[in-house]
Every structure is written in structure tokens, then in C-alpha cells.
Amino acid sequence: MTTPKPLRFGVIGAGAIGSLHARNIATRVAGASLSAVMDINLEAAEKSLYGNAYATTDLDKMLGDPDIDAVLIASLTSLHSEHIQKSVAAGKAIFCEKPVAIDLEETRRVMKQVDDAGLPFQIGFQRRFDPGYAAIAKAISSGEMGKLEMFRSQSSDPKPAPEHYIATSGGIYIDSVIHDIDVARFVAGEVKRVTALGANPVDPVYEKHGDIAVSILTLEFESGAIGVIQNHRRTPHGYDLRLEVHCEKGKLVTEDERQTKLWRYDQGGIHGDYFYYFMQRFEDAYRKEVQAFVDAVHAKEPIAPGTRDAIESLRVAVAATKSLKEHRPVAIAEV
């Protein structure tokens, strides 16, 4: 078998997600290799190395390295846009954690630069690579279930984020619900209009920053289908997701996923645990999304989710934010 030359990655950002991607690229993604990890904290970068990769604090130097083919951007959200632009200038293939930016116009502008440069680009909507979500999307697109008629996605986080994060996150829709929105677009197609409903029982810090902790967002799709996304930011049992779609020929539901494949029966009844957080729940999806990127780059095939998804999923999130503030349905065409 002829195996292609590995796609050599430089990882930008050595936080939790960056380190995970570095490890996957180095040890678990076929056809890829880790060349360098850049972080302003050299020690953090060094801790994320494998094999012959080098650590650096100098982004320009890393982007100038001709032995690096691709970048994986896992820096602070506020730097994504700048890092994408520099990577475009350096001519690298780009995998960027979501979002490109919390501002829609900036996102559009940067995505246009990527498209104009003709560079491979993937945005980190990892749920598309989870087996349950992927199986539902595949069943719908195959037509075997007939037309999709009603969509429902539910996501819950175990605990509120720290205040400094809330203050700059762009709000629940842009920060968090965007993952459900991207799944909605992935499974049910483009959204025409949204209506947001919020509540704030969890922590006054959300209200202080004009944000909410509990959300119900209804969606009207271009296809005529309707949908609802429910989010909660403090579910004590852990990170809990469920996707249900009603179609012409039946209903599809992702099964409840738990961290440990075990049921325990004791004096209190029957018990099972849950995933603590998204990094546990999507551990393998984080590997698979990068594998898909690497495979597509090698095969010179179209990449999804790409620049258009980065824009369109954000656009729905921005419309939802507007709906929440203005207490009215907001058409996606408005934003």
C-alpha cells in the first residue's frame, strides 16, 4: 500500500483542547504528524509535545516553517480570527476550533479570505463526528425515513462557566447553543426563523452580563419543518445530550451515552454515571473530526463543516440572541 506523506501539523494554543488535538495528531490520527506546538507559555507547549515535535512561543516562526503543512487553531477565541488570517498568509491548511469570531461580520470577512485563498478549512463542530449524531444525519440524508418534520436537540452542561468567560463569550447562543444549531443545520437543513425564550434560575452572574442559563429556542426551517433546542447550564449529573427527529416514516433518537458502560444495582436501586463534560463525551469525535480533515486534505475533497458552516451556524446564533433581546421571532435574513 502506498501511504501518503503525513500532513504535518503545527498546533496553535496548548490549553486543554489544543493539547488533546496535539496528542491525537501525534498518536491517533492516521496520515498526520505533529511538527510543532506554539503557545505564549513555553512550558505548556512543551508539555504537549510528542516525538520530534518542537515547542515555540513564536507564531510567525512556526507559520514560516516550510515543513508544516497545516495548522490547528486552538488559541483563545478572541485570537482565532487573527490566527486564521496569519495562517492564510502563510498558505497553511487550517483546522480552527469554533468560533471563527463572535462577530458575524468579522466571521464573514475572514471566511472570505480563506475561500479566496483556496485553502482547506474546517471549523470544529465536532458533534458531526459523533456516531449517534452522524447516524441520524446519514439516515435523514439517505431518505430512508422520509421527510424530516420535527427536530429536537437538548444539551446540558454540568456547571456554570466562570464569570470572566461569561462576560466575553457572546452569550449562550453564540457560545454554546451554536453546537445544537450546527447539528440542526447538519440534520434538517437551513433555518429560516428563530424565537428564543430564556430563564435565569441558576446564577445571577448570567443576568448581570445580559445572558441566560436556561434556553428554549424554536426553529422554523426552510423546508417547512419546525424544531426546538433546549439548553441548561447546570445539570448536576453531568454533560447530557439527546437528539430526536420525527420524520414521515418514524422517529430517530440517539441513545443515552454514559461514561462507564456499567449499571450498578444496590440498596438505592439501579445507577449509572454520566459524562462529566464535553471533552469526555466527545473524546473520540475530537479525533475523528481531525481525521476527516486530514483525509479530505489528502484526497483533495471538499471539507465539511467548512467556511459556509462557520458563517451560517453563527448567523442563526446571532439571530437567536437578537430574538432573546427583542422578545420576538427573528428571521435569519435579518442578520
Strand runs labelled E in 66-143: 70-73, 93-96, 121-123
Q: How far is the CB of 134 from its own copies (least distance, A)?
A: 9
Q: Is residue 159 near its own copies by the rule CB under 8 A?
A: no
Measure the CA–CA gap between 322 and 128, rounded to whole angstroms.
Answer: 26
CA angle 280, 286, 287 (to 5 degrees): 115
Measure the CA–CA gap between 64 and 93, rounded to whole angstroms.
Answer: 13
Measure the CA–CA gap between 298 and 294, rounded to whole angstroms.
Answer: 6
Nearer to its own copies, 209 or 234 (CB): 234
Per-residue x/- track, 5-44, its own copies (CB under 8 A) = -x----------------x--xxxxxx-------------
Backbone phi and psi for residue 121, each to the nearest 5 degrees, phi listed first:
-145, 130
Distance, first Cα to last Cα, the chain: 50
What are the grid coordinates assigned to 96, written together? 480552527
| Positions 80 through 119 that interact with its own copies (CB under 8 A) | none
205, 166 contact by CB (below 8 A)? yes
Q: Is residue 165 near its own copies by the rule CB under 8 A?
A: no
| Positions 187 through 226 that interact with its own copies (CB under 8 A) | 195, 197-202, 214, 216, 218, 220, 224-226
Find the binder of its own copies among 123, 252, 292, 318 (CB under 8 A): 252
Which range of residues in 78-86, 88-96, 147-155, 173-181 is near its own copies by CB under 8 A?
A: 147-155
Q: How far is the CB of 69 from its own copies (least distance, A)?
A: 16
Q: Is residue 135 near its own copies by the rule CB under 8 A?
A: yes
182, 219 contact by CB (below 8 A)? no
Nearer to its own copies, 112 or 251 (CB): 251
Q: Is residue 130 near its own copies by the rule CB under 8 A?
A: yes
Find the binder of its own copies among 15, 40, 42, 46 (CB under 8 A): 46
Q: Is residue 183 near its own copies by the rule CB under 8 A?
A: no
Measure the CA–CA gap between 55 and 72, rounded to whole angstroms.
Answer: 14
Q: Is residue 136 near its own copies by the rule CB under 8 A?
A: yes
| Positions 253 through 292 that interact with its own copies (CB under 8 A) | 253-258, 260-274
Q: How far is the CB of 225 from its own copies (least distance, A)?
A: 6
Backbone phi and psi for residue 224, each to the nearest 5 degrees, phi listed first:
100, -15
Which range of residues in 57-65, 98-106, 167-175, 242-250 is near its own copies by CB under 8 A?
A: 242-250
Closest by CA to 322, choosing from 160, 207, 174, is 174
Which range of residues in 107-115, 175-183, 251-259, 295-303 is near its own copies by CB under 8 A?
A: 251-259
Note the residue count of the chain.
335
